[in-house]
Amino acid sequence: VSVGSYNDMGTLLTSDDVASTFTARGPTLDGFVKPDTLAPGEHVLGLRVSGLVYSDASGAPIGSTTDRYIHMTGTSASSAFVTGVAALVKAARPSATPNDIKGAIVASGRQVQGSSVTAVDAFSALTRNATANAGLVPSRLLAKILTTAHQLNVNGVLWENVNWDVVIWDGVSWETVSWETVAWETISWETVAWETVTWEGVSWEDSVSAE
């Protein structure tokens, strides 16, 4: 789940909430709307690590190293809220899959000024049944890497049934990868299915070239 930030304006009202100017907007190169949801991310009060120096955008220190709490701004703060909601959804529905949890969070959101992406709503997420990623095709970049490494035969792909448990990422290295001659013309996304895909034995230990 990709998380953006909104400003709650320091009030309990939701009608004055507005999307943060610094949060990302727009679709990815694959055409997917991002972020998936918004959560409070400006002047959020949280615990401060004792002895650690925090700095603002200008490099000036924030507060004292002996302070117990600190106000921080950024999508890192927003992500903590969404993580908590995800945990609540999982606790309420132990059998929920990651896609179910993401679907519940995204589908139950409420409108926020300045963004087409909705804000997380914990109460609504607990009772919303929805799934995420249905019908989405994966990154063409990822598919090209896998097919070039002879790890994937793509006739088209859906994300909802992907199982990454047997994929080994320990040896991933991009230093020798060249993208200059990558061409997507031969990749077809029209017939989407995982039936012929096998992930057994997939390993990134060997260098991958996308030529």
- pLDDT at residue 14, as a whole number: 93
Q: Residue 200: what pLDDT?
A: 55
What residue ranges define each of the domains in the chain, with the CATH number in brackets?
3-125 (3.40.50.200), 133-211 (no CATH)
Q: Who's near 60: CB < 8 A, 6+ residues apart?
A: none
Give the model's pLDDT for residue 107: 93
Alpha-carbon distance 150 to 165, whole Å? Answer: 19
Along the chain (211 residues), what's the average pLDDT of each consecutive run of 10 residues? 94 94 77 86 92 87 91 92 97 93 94 94 93 69 67 53 54 52 50 50 46 37
pLDDT of residue 13: 93
Note whether 110 and 14 are within 8 A (CB).
yes
For residues 211 and 192, what is the distance between their CA atoms, to the nearest angstrom?
Answer: 24
Q: What is the pTM of this model?
A: 0.64
**Backbone angles phi and psi of 116, in degrees to 5:** -85, -15
H or E element, residue 174 = none
Q: CB count, 10 Å around CB of 7?
A: 21
Counting other chains too, the contacts that 189-195 makes at CB distance below 8 Å and 24 or more residues apart are 189/137, 189/140, 189/156, 189/157, 190/156, 191/155, 191/156, 192/135, 192/137, 192/155, 192/156, 192/157, 192/158, 193/155, 193/156, 193/157, 193/158, 194/157, 194/158, 194/161, 194/162
Radius of gyration of the chain (CA): 21
Ordered DSSP codes for 1-17: --EEEEE-TTSS-STT-
Q: SS3 for 45?
A: strand
Structure token digits, residue 75: 């999508």
Q: How many whole angstroms separate alpha carbon 151 and alpha carbon 205?
A: 12
